[in-house]
């Protein structure tokens, strides 16, 4: 990306979610049908936080959290796999539901219960104009043809580790050893194998600093040509 153009879209006084909101609104200004916006990246890069802020900035937006589509914890444990592994996610169900949302159909999405380790109920998800699909696997190749706009959040591994060790221990009740094991298995091994390459078709790549500030580091040539 041209350095002058990069600086022009990373103003000190404009947040990443406001920039993205403006870009997405302009990009889809002539649409009145549901659009799917993927927010992907490794664990601990701020996907959930960005998704909530972006939804507020865009308006007429719902968020579909793909963590609710995790397979049974006991199955994952038996297979020795973590969240970024395709087998750790109900990939076929995700594909079916994304197609239905794109067709403006209400879905019965699963609701994952962390206490039980599997989805225990469903709830209605009604398509909005913009539907943020948030999760590690949201930018995977299996869904790339149906997703309308791909956002990939990148960061240094030490930032991801910092988040894992604080969030997983404080909010999820993990021991330090379990949080570290999850980081190694999920962020270093599985996401590097299955997820890191998905930035190749991202429309926007954000970089998350250690203080969790976000900047736009790359945009696709298609989006660049549209914006200039």
CATH assignment of 3-66+128-222? Answer: 3.40.50.300
**pTM for the predicted model, two decimal places:** 0.92
Say what the pLDDT of residue 76 is.
97
Query: Domain locations in the chain?
Result: 3-66+128-222
CA distance 10 to 3: 11
Over residues 50-68, the pLDDT tens digits come to 999 999 999 999 999 999 9
Over residues 188-225, the pLDDT tens digits come to 999 999 999 999 999 999 999 988 899 999 999 999 99
Say what the pLDDT of residue 189 is.
96
For 207, residues 6+ apart whose C-beta sits below 8 A from its C-beta are: 153, 154, 155, 214, 215, 216, 217
Mean pLDDT of the chain: 92
């Amino acid at each position: 990306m041209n350095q002058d153009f990069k600086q022009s879209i990373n103003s000190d006084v404009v947040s990443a979610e406001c920039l993205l909101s403006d870009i997405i609104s302009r990009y889809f200004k002539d649409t009145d049908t549901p659009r799917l916006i993927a927010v992907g990246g490794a664990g601990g890069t701020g996907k959930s936080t960005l998704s909530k802020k972006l939804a507020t900035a865009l308006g007429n937006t719902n968020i579909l959290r793909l963590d609710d589509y995790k397979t049974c914890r006991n199955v994952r444990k038996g297979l020795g796999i973590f969240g970024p592994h395709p087998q750790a996610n109900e990939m076929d169900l995700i594909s079916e539901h994304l197609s239905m949302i794109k067709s403006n159909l209400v879905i019965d999405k699963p609701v994952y219960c962390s206490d039980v380790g599997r989805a225990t109920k469903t709830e209605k998800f009604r398509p909005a104009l913009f539907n943020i699909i948030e999760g590690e696997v949201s930018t995977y190749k299996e869904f790339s043809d149906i997703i309308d706009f791909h956002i990939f959040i990148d960061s240094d591994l030490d930032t991801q580790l910092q988040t894992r060790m604080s969030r997983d221990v404080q909010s999820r009740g993990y021991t330090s050893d379990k949080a570290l094991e999850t980081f190694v298995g999920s962020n270093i091994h599985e996401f590097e194998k299955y997820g890191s390459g998905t930035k190749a078709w991202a429309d926007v790549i954000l970089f998350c600093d250690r203080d969790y500030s976000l900047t736009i580091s790359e945009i696709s040539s298609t989006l660049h040509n549209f914006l200039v």
